[in-house]
Amino acid sequence: MRNPIEVYGVDVDQESRCTHYHSQVDIVALKFRCCRKFYACYQCHQETTDHPPEKWPLDERDHHAILCGHCRKTMSIDEYMNVNECPHCQHAFNAGCKNHYPLYFDME
């Protein structure tokens, strides 16, 4: 059964790829703290809202803010930062996403 979590953004496909990030491994969607909605990427959030993104503070890294677009299951920020593939379905994640952590999460 498919999880009904909706992913917002620009040209979002079935596996949460978007117009900005659409390689085979770009399947992760992130929930933004400000709107409590999942977006395919930070650019999608920027282009479809009128407010600056709110990052997840260090003490909220147990929040399930990450969605695998392949199996539609969620994981905590902590969990996500420690894997290179989905812990549920083993679909590979884009390793380049690690460079974007500071856009979504407070780092220190």
> Which residues form the interface with Zn ion (CB under 5 A)?
9, 18, 20, 32, 34-35, 40-41, 43-44, 49, 68, 70-71, 86, 88-89, 91
Please report, for residues 4, 5, 70, 71, 99, the alpha-carbon distance to residue 1 in angstroms, rounded to integers and kept in the order given.
9, 12, 13, 10, 33
Task: Give the nearest distance from C-beta 26 to Zn ion in angstroms.
Answer: 9
Task: Give the nearest distance from C-beta 4 to Zn ion in angstroms.
Answer: 16
Please name the residues in contact with 104: beta carbons below 8 A apart, sequence gap of 6 or more. 30, 32, 42, 53, 55, 56, 65
By beta-carbon proximity to Zn ion, the closer residue of 58 and 92 is: 92
Task: Give the nearest distance from C-beta 29 to Zn ion in angstroms.
Answer: 10
Alpha helical stretches, state H, 1-108 = 42-48, 77-81, 101-104
